[in-house]
Structure 1
Amino acid sequence: MKTYHGSCHCKAIRFEADIDLADGSMRCNCSFCLKIRCWATVVKPESFRLLAGESELSEYQFGAKNEQHFFCKHCGVRPFGIAHSPRRGKFYGVSVSCLDDASIAELAAAPVTYVDGINDNWDTQPAVVSYL
C-alpha cells in the first residue's frame, strides 16, 4: 500500500489515495469507459482524500446513475469517480493515469483486469480486449 498523489491536467483538482497497484487495475468496454479510455483502480472511500478543487468538479451521470463521473470544468480531465455496486459497496474509481507520482515501472507492473461492462457482466472478460 502506498499513498499516491494525483491531479487533473491543470492541477485545479488534487487528491491523494492509498493504493496497492499490485492489487490491480481495470479497463472496461462500456460505452462511457470506452470513450474516455478509462484505466482505473478501485479505492475504498476511507482511502481517498480530495485535497483541492471540489468546487472545480463537474459531474456526469447516465443510465442507472449508479456512478458519479467527475471531471475538471477547466481542463476536462476525469481524475476519479464514485460508484456503488452490490459486490463492492461504495468505492472510488481513481484514474491511474492521473497519479502524478506513480513511476512508469509501477504503472507497467500493475495488473489489468478487463471487464465486460457493455453487457453488464462484471465477472467476465470480453472476448476481445486489445482495443481497450
Structure 2
Amino acid sequence: MAEKPIEYRGSCHCGSVKYSVLAPPTLRIVDCNCTVCTKKQNKHFIVPGSDFKLISGENVLKTYTFGTHNAQHTFCSMCGVQSFYTPRSDPSAKAIMPHCIDEPLPLKFYVDSFDGQNWEDAMKIKAKIVTAPK
C-alpha cells in the first residue's frame, strides 16, 4: 500500500528560492556516483513535476548543464545552493535535495545507489529509482 503523500517545504540557504513538494513520508534517496553528483554530494529524491511548486525565486535561478544537457541543474545565484533540479532520467520530474527541506523534516528515508558513471547500463537495471513514481 502506497503511503499518502505529505507536503514538504524547502529552500536554498539564503531563502531566495522556496518551493513545496508532495512526497511520501518515507523518502527514497538516490545516491548517484556520476561526476556532478559526486562533486556536489548530490543525494536526492524524485517526484513528478506536477507535485512540485516553485513558490519564489524564479528570478534568481541559474542553470548548469553538461554532457547530454538533458539534466537541468538549477541553483540559486545568490547563495549557490541547488535545492532541486530537473533530472536527465525524467525531464518531466524534479529531483529534490532532502537536506534543503525546511519542514516537516523527513523522519524516514532509505538510500538506493545509482551508477551514474555508467548511466545507460544503470538505467536498464535501476530506471525505477531515478524516475518519478507513477
TM-score for the superposition, normalised by structure 2: 0.83
Displacement of 1:84 in angstroms is 4.5
Residues 67, 112 of structure 1: alpha-carbon distance in 2 compared, 3 angstrom cutoff: same
Counterpart in 2 of 1:128? none
Give the distance between the partners of 1:21 and 1:30, measured in 2 at CA.
27
* Aligned pairs (5 A) from 1:101-112: 101-103=103-105, 106=107, 109-112=108-111
Counterpart in 2 of 1:56? 60
Give the distance between the partners of 2:67 and 2:113, measured in 1 at CA.
21
Counterpart in 2 of 1:3? 7
Give the distance between the partners of 1:71 and 1:41, measured in 2 at CA.
16
What's the CA shift string for 1:78-98, capped at 9, x where partnerless?
01101243xx56210011111
Residues 117, 56 of structure 1: alpha-carbon distance in 2 compared, 3 angstrom cutoff: same
Residues 118, 21 of structure 1: alpha-carbon distance in 2 compared, 3 angstrom cutoff: farther
TM-score for the superposition, normalised by structure 1: 0.84
Counterpart in 1 of 2:129? none
Give the distance between the partners of 1:33 and 1:110, measured in 2 at CA.
19
Displacement of 1:25 in angstroms is 1.3
2:20 to 12, 16, 23: 16
Q: CA-atom RMSD, angstroms?
A: 1.5
Structure 1 residue ranges without an equivalent (≥5): 125-132
Amino acid at match of 1:99: I
Q: Secondary structure at the match of 2:26?
A: helix
Amino acid at match of 1:71: F
Give the distance between the partners of 2:14 and 2:27, measured in 1 at CA.
29
Q: Does the 8 Å CA contact 2:29/2:109 hold for their aligned counterparts?
A: yes
Amino acid at match of 1:82: T
Residues 23, 96 of structure 1: alpha-carbon distance in 2 compared, 3 angstrom cutoff: closer
What's the CA shift string for 1:96-116, capped at 9, x where partnerless?
111001436x1xx20111100
Question: Moved runs in structure 1, 4+ residues, more than 2 A?
Answer: none
